[in-house]
Structure formats: C-alpha cells, structure tokens
C-alpha cells in the first residue's frame, strides 16, 4: 500500500497525485544513446556504455518509485526516499505559500521545483516534480 493511502485521516480523499519527472533519467538516457551509437563503431565500447546506462538508471528508478506527492481534501502529503525517508504532511489551512521554480528546460518539459512554506517556519523544497503548476493549482483550489 502506498504511503499516502496508508496515512489518510477519516473522511480524507486523495484529490491529486504527482511524481518525479521522467527527466531524472537524463544521464542514463544519454549513456544509452551513446552505447547504441558506439555499438556500430566499437561493439565492446558500446556494450560498456550501455551497461553504464543501466547502472546510471538504478538511483533515479529508486527515487522515482519511492517518491509520492499528493494533495488530499485536508493535507499536502509528500514522501521521498527508500532507506532514508523524508516526509511532509501539512494541513491545507497551514499552507502559507507555494513557490514553483522552473528553468527553461523545465518550462519546455513541464517539470520544476516546489517550495512549500507553512505556519511555524516549515519550508520544504522538492525538486524535479512533473507538472508543478498543476500541483500548485490543486492546492490553491482547495485552500480558496
């Protein structure tokens, strides 16, 4: 069972889910492309580069599959990490601001960083979120 679903309060429902963007695999993708290209020129070097691509894909795969970003009817719930877990559970009424930062590539590929600020000095930054403006929009629509 997912972290968000296992920690829902009574009468709380999941309104929106987000995830890490597929571009977290960019290094593995580049190594894979280089490996395929090298296979035509030097098969051994291509195989090594392709093997490197597989190894480079493991950390982002773990990060993507163990990260959860959710907006419920009462809270914002975020969990990242497998062995070293970091969670944020912020009641909607405690959200003071939501900041979205996107680079040029982030705007093109629709990913960015979200900074959630809450009462009591809570300030958490989460990077490489897919569709961060939609995530912010869902939170703001529930607060209003």
My answer on whether 80 and 37 are in the same domain is: no
**What confidence tens digit (pLDDT) does each residue in 76-105 have?**
999 999 899 999 999 999 999 999 999 999
User: Are 129 and 82 part of one and the same domain?
Assistant: yes
What is the b/e burial string over 58-92, where b = at least 16 CB atoms within 10 angstroms of the residue's CB?
Answer: eebeebbeebbbbbbebbbbbbbeeeeeeebbbeb
What is the per-residue pLDDT for 75? 95
Give the tens place of pLDDT for each residue, 26-80: 999 999 999 999 988 999 999 999 999 999 999 999 999 999 999 999 999 999 9
**Residue 115 to residue 97: CA distance in whole angstroms:** 8
Range of the domain at 99: 3-20+69-143
Domain harbouring 14, CATH code: 2.30.29.30
Please check whether residues 42 and 87 belong to one and the same domain: no
What is the structure's pLDDT at 1? 56
Number of domains in the chain: 2
The pLDDT, as a whole number, for residue 111 is 98
Give the model's confidence band at 121: pLDDT under 50 very low, under 70 low, under 90 confident, else very high.
Answer: confident
Domain co-membership, 27 together with 56: yes
């Amino acid at each position: 069972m997912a972290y968000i679903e296992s920690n829902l309060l009574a009468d709380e429902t999941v309104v929106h889910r987000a995830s890490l963007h597929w571009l977290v695999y960019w290094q593995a993708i580049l190594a894979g492309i280089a490996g395929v290209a090298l296979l035509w020129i030097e098969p051994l070097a291509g195989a090594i580069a392709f093997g490197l691509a597989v190894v480079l894909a493991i950390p982002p795969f773990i990060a993507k599959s163990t990260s959860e970003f959710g907006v419920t009817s009462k809270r914002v719930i975020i969990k990242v990490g497998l062995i070293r877990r970091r969670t944020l559970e912020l009641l909607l009424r405690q959200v003071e601001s939501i900041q979205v930062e996107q680079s040029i590539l982030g705007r093109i590929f629709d990913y960015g960083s979200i900074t959630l600020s809450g009462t009591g000095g809570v300030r958490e930054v989460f990077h490489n979120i897919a569709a961060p403006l939609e995530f912010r929009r869902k939170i703001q629509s529930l607060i209003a």
